Copies of this chain bind each other. A is one copy, B any other.
Amino acid sequence: MNATDTRERILGRMFQDIHKNGFQGLRADRVIADMGITKGALYHYFPSKDAIGLAVIAEIIEPSYLAFFRSLEQAKGHPIDLLKDHLQELADKASPDDIYLGCPLNNLVQEMSPLNEDFRQRLKVVMDGMIHYSTRALERGVAQGQVKADTDCAAVASFMVAGMEGAYGVAKVQKSLSSFHRNIQQLLNYLELFRM
């Protein structure tokens, strides 16, 4: 068990606890106790609780969310299909627990944006990234005659992300996977409007 492993194991567990309890609800000492290690290890790797949260965003949430959207830059295929396929995949892969706990990104956004500017800015980078790469994909679609010429690509991309997060939120209160599917389906219908 080398050092990097321990740090990443801690981060992974912290992510899970934050996912369920929120950052304010995170009890770092309880998490590490569950892992069978002690505060010595925790504070060896992270100077403070805030640092844990920021590291979770930077090292777990951001990569996992932006991977797909960055990949749009090199992706071939109709941008509307690429975006729809991604949303469809999110819906297909979502477990009841994913729905019950909600979108980790959205959760942190709602909780931490007004409380901590460092958090907000890091989270904003992630969401802006999602919107940015989607916008560019749609714009390429316009240039290639795949997307309607009068499309406000930035507005559509932004609303797609908003609709996604909204779908997570509604499904979360309702504790309903099928609610999530229905709302994602409506979002797919919306995206289809902009196909050439």
Contact = CB atoms under 8 A, between A and B. Distances in A.
A159 B163 contact: yes
B173 A124 contact: yes
Q: Which of A127, A164, A174 has the most CB of B within 10 A?
A: A174
Interface in A133-181: 155-156, 158-159, 161-167, 169-170, 172-175, 179
A109 interface: yes
B175 A162 contact: no
What's the interface size class on A, roughly?
Answer: 35 or more
Count identical subunits in the complex.
Answer: 2
Contacts of A101: 114
A111 interface: yes
Q: Which of A115, A128, A173 has the most CB of B within 10 A?
A: A173
A157 to B, nearest CB: 10
A65 interface: no
Interface in A90-124: 100-102, 106-107, 109-111, 113-115, 120, 123-124
A95 to B, nearest CB: 14
B173 A159 contact: no
Contact of A127 (B158, B174, B186): B174
Q: Which of A101, A128, A169, A190 has the most CB of B within 10 A?
A: A169
B175 A159 contact: no
Nearest to A186: B159
A169 B109 contact: yes
Contact of A173 (B24, B123, B182, B186): B123
Given A110-B110, A110-B111, A161 B156 contact: no
A186 B156 contact: yes
B167 A162 contact: yes
A25 interface: yes
5 contacts: A22-B24, A110-B172, A155-B186, A163-B163, A193-B193
